[in-house]
Amino acid sequence: MKKSNGIKKVNAAVFISGTGSNLKNLIRFSLKKNSKFNINLIISNNIKAKGLKYAKEFRIKKKIVNYKNISSAEKSILIILKKSKIRLICLAGFMKILSKNFLKEFNGPVVNIHPSLLPKYKGLNTHQRAIDANEKFSGCTVHYVSSKLDSGKIILQKKVKILKKDNLNSLTKKVLKQEHLLYPKALNKIYSNL
């Protein structure tokens, strides 16, 4: 916990594998007065992740982890989390599954954002699957991470209407816009007692 402007904030790490629009949005939110968290560390399994550029832009420590061997990857992540005094992990498009052991070893909440109304459409290609199934609604969910894929306790969810004219691209954009509103809100909710 760190005091900035007299407000207690939780040290968080964001794990990414790709674009990092949620990462950028969380960083921006974290700089606001009413944010309950700071982003102190960015972790990626992918050296080519576009989102890594935000480390430089916002002067945040980054660590790229070689995932050839999962157990040594997780060990090195746990070490840097400890060094950086991280108390909260936010997964944002991180394409690796964290092991049971990792979740046990890390002493704090691990949270993920998923682009569907869980428990519907766990896993990948959620938008296309929702369109193909003629769903009237899709959306996004922020949830705690458990050892089962996309199955932990839900923190917040936001519905998005699927229109007849929607396609993969338009639905992805619409949901992502809501993700950017939902994720910071959900993180602040976890720490509403601070």
22 is a contact residue toward ligand GRF (CB under 6 A): yes
Choices 20-28, 32-40, 68-76, 185-193; region in contact with ligand GRF by CB under 6 A: 20-28
Residues in the chain: 194
Rounded Cα–Cα distance for residues 148 and 143 (Å): 12
Alpha carbon separation from 47 to 19, 43, 65, 185 (Å, rounded): 12, 10, 8, 29
118 is a contact residue toward ligand GRF (CB under 6 A): no
| Residues between 122 and 161 that touch ligand GRF (CB under 6 A) | none
Q: How many other C-beta atoms can be found within 10 angstroms of the C-beta atom of residue 70?
A: 15
**Mind spelling out the 3-state secondary structure of 42-83?**
EEECCCCCHHHHHHHHCCCEEEECCCCCHHHHHHHHHHHHHH
Backbone angles phi, psi at 114, to 5 degrees: -130, 135
Over the window 166 to 185, marking each residue x when it contacts ligand GRF by CB under 6 A and - when it does not, the resulting string is: ----------x--x------
Smaller CB separation from ligand GRF, 19 or 157: 19
Choices 33-41, 63-71, 110-118, 163-171; region in contact with ligand GRF by CB under 6 A: 110-118
Choices 31-39, 108-116, 145-153, 160-168; region in contact with ligand GRF by CB under 6 A: 108-116
Smaller CB separation from ligand GRF, 2 or 158: 158
Smaller CB separation from ligand GRF, 7 or 149: 149
Give the 3-state secondary structure percentages of the chain, helix then strand then coil, rounded to 5.
35, 25, 40
* Helix (H) or strand (E) segment spanning residue 101: helix 100-105
Rounded Cα–Cα distance for residues 94 and 100 (Å): 16
Over the window 46 to 65, marking each residue x when it contacts ligand GRF by CB under 6 A and - when it does not, the resulting string is: -----x--------------
**Minimum distance of ligand GRF from residue 7's CB (angstroms):** 26
**Minimum distance of ligand GRF from residue 172's CB (angstroms):** 7
Interface residues with ligand GRF (CB under 6 A)?
16, 18-22, 51, 92-93, 113-115, 176, 179
